[in-house]
Amino acid sequence: MKNNIFTYAHRTAIVTGGSKNIGLSITEKFLAAGMQVAIISSEKSNLDSAKEYLNQSNSNVSFWQSNITHTASLEKLIANINQHHGSIDILVNNAALLEITSVEQTTEEDWDSVLDVNLRGAFFMTQKCLPYLKKGTAPRVINISSNAGRMGGYANGLAYTASKGGIISLTYGLARKLAPYGITVNCVAPGTIDSEMNRMRDIETQKELIKKFPLGRIGTPEEVASAVCYFASQESSFTTGAVLDVNGGMFMG
């Protein structure tokens, strides 16, 4: 991002679910912009793959295996990240589970596991990061929602839809509550993106989904990451409580 019109450097971002797909693209763009990044993932294999891809000798990136639903462990995790990098200025709540069960087949376990990661995890990550964000440089919270949270979606389950709608409402509420501290809170709502999540669907469902997009294709992780970069920039300082749709025109509102 040499000669980029936006300012990022000398700040540290935490990216949950940052070891693959959209999260890895966000991490990569942040590193290219000169920021430090702490990746959190619950899967060691994904962290190992991210290390290899990003070049683990890069001192600006660190890798942390943790399950964000284990709230009791978050304070220590975040304190360790702060000690390692020297600050926490940006939190990207990206970690998420997709479920594609029908209304009739959704179990309590399905519902609880998805809401735990997608919504509960995002709230408590934000809560535990607050002491550091309040002292941060141009502090930001950036939540990753979904087109499903905007208009219900087409090929996902209702636990996912509810969690992503909740993320949007959480963004609005946090934006008001945290504004007095100078912390902005914004949200990116992607449509269907080329990722492992989309590949959970069968080929025919994927083909039908593409027909829903006026632009005639699904999106890329890099396109979502670019939207996140605007909210992370110091120049976005007067933008809070916003939802940016990156969905090829599927939802316009």
Task: Return the SS3 of 227.
Answer: helix
Whichever domain contains 31, its CATH number is: 3.40.50.720
Say whether 160 is catalytic: yes
State whether residue 13 is helix, strand or coil. strand
| Alpha-carbon 77 to chain mean position | 18
Active-site pick, 160, 172, 181, 230? 160
Section 139-162 average pLDDT: 94
**Residue 186: how many other CB atoms lie within 10 Å:** 23
What's the pLDDT score for residue 252? 80
Answer whether residue 217 is part of any domain.
yes
Q: Please report, for the chain, how many H helices and E strands are present, in that order.
A: 10, 7
What are the tokens at 48? 């190992």
Would residue 180 count as lying in a domain? yes
Please name the residues in contact with 233: beta carbons below 8 A apart, sequence gap of 6 or more: 6, 7, 8
- Report the percentage of the chain scoring pLDDT > 70: 94
Domain tally, the chain: 1
Is residue 253 situated within a structural domain?
no
Does residue 6 belong to any structural domain of this protein?
no
23 within a domain of the structure (yes/no): yes
Q: Which of 238, 236, 232, 17 is nearest to 122 (CA)?
A: 17
pLDDT, position 56: 63
User: Domain range holding 45?
Assistant: 12-246
Q: Is there a domain that residue 40 lies in?
A: yes
User: Per-residue confidence at 198, pLDDT binned at 50, 70, 90?
Assistant: low
How far is residue 55's CA from residue 111's CA, in Å, rounded to a whole number?
Answer: 37
In a domain? residue 4? no
**Is residue 242 domain-resident?**
yes
pLDDT in tens, 51-79: 999 976 678 999 999 999 999 999 999 99
Instruction: Note the pLDDT tens digit of each residue in 78-129.
Output: 999 999 999 999 999 999 999 989 999 999 999 999 999 999 999 999 999 9
Give the pLDDT confidence score for residue 207 in this predicted structure: 74
Instruction: List, for residues 223-235, the tens digit of each pLDDT value.
Output: 999 999 999 999 9
